[in-house]
């Protein structure tokens, strides 16, 4: 009789390498893409963060994280929130978001997106300013939309 061999779990290769300092942290993924997280003092920026990418020049967009946005101060008390999901390249997000801001829709989308989280390669971001190394990085962005209570 042959000896019994236990099944071994095949470990996935490391997909990212983390690095950083006091106000900047970064992740380098196995495909060569990087995302940098930059901690900023938001009092001067009205609680807005930014994300930027290179495609083919540096593009910067402002947005709010959910934790930095009080919709009652801006929209009033008569609104409730829900989420919407965008999946695609980071460079197409703002264009898609602006197209979804159609005035004939029953939901209200603020001029500046209110983002709950940004996901890339199973890594989630919930705060800080983000720098993407390439505009063609495929991301999932969960953002807020607002409905008027009836």
**Cα(71)–Cα(142) distance, rounded to whole angstroms?**
17
Cα dist. 31→11, 16, 56, 60, 141 in Å?
18, 9, 19, 23, 20
Q: In this structure, is residue 10 part of a structural domain?
A: no
Q: In this structure, is residue 90 part of a structural domain?
A: yes
Which of the pair, 122 or 26, is modelled with greater confidence?
A: 26
Q: Which two tokens stand for residue 144?
A: 């807020």
Average pLDDT over residues 35-54: 81
Range of the domain at 136: 16-148
* Confidence band of 16 (pLDDT split at 50, 70, 90): confident
Q: What pTM did the predictor assign?
A: 0.82
- pLDDT tens for each residue of 60-70: 999 999 988 87
Output the DSSP codes for 84-110.
Answer: EEEEEEGGGHHHHHHHTT-TTSSEE--
Q: In this structure, is residue 67 part of a structural domain?
A: yes
Q: In this structure, is residue 8 part of a structural domain?
A: no
* pLDDT at residue number 47: 78
Q: In this structure, is residue 111 part of a structural domain?
A: yes
Q: In this structure, is residue 139 part of a structural domain?
A: yes
Q: In this structure, is residue 32 part of a structural domain?
A: yes
Tell me which residue has tokens 């020049």: 57
Average per-residue pLDDT for the chain? 84
Which of the pair, 45 or 81, is modelled with greater confidence?
A: 81
Domains: count for the chain: 1
């Amino acid at each position: 009789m042959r000896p019994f061999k236990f099944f071994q779990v095949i470990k996935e290769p490391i997909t990212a390498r983390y690095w950083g300092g006091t106000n900047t942290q970064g992740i380098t993924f196995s495909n060569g893409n990087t995302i940098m997280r930059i901690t900023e003092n938001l009092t001067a920026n009205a609680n807005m963060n930014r994300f930027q990418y290179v495609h083919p020049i540096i593009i910067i967009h402002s947005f709010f994280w959910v934790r930095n946005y009080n919709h009652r101060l801006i929209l009033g008390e008569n609104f409730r929130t829900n989420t919407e999901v965008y999946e695609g390249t980071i460079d197409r997000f703002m264009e898609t978001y602006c197209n979804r801001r159609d005035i004939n829709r029953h939901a209200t989308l603020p001029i500046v997106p209110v983002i709950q989280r940004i996901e890339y390669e199973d890594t989630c971001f919930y705060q800080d300013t983000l720098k993407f190394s390439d505009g063609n990085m495929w991301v999932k962005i969960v953002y807020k939309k607002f409905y008027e209570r009836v």
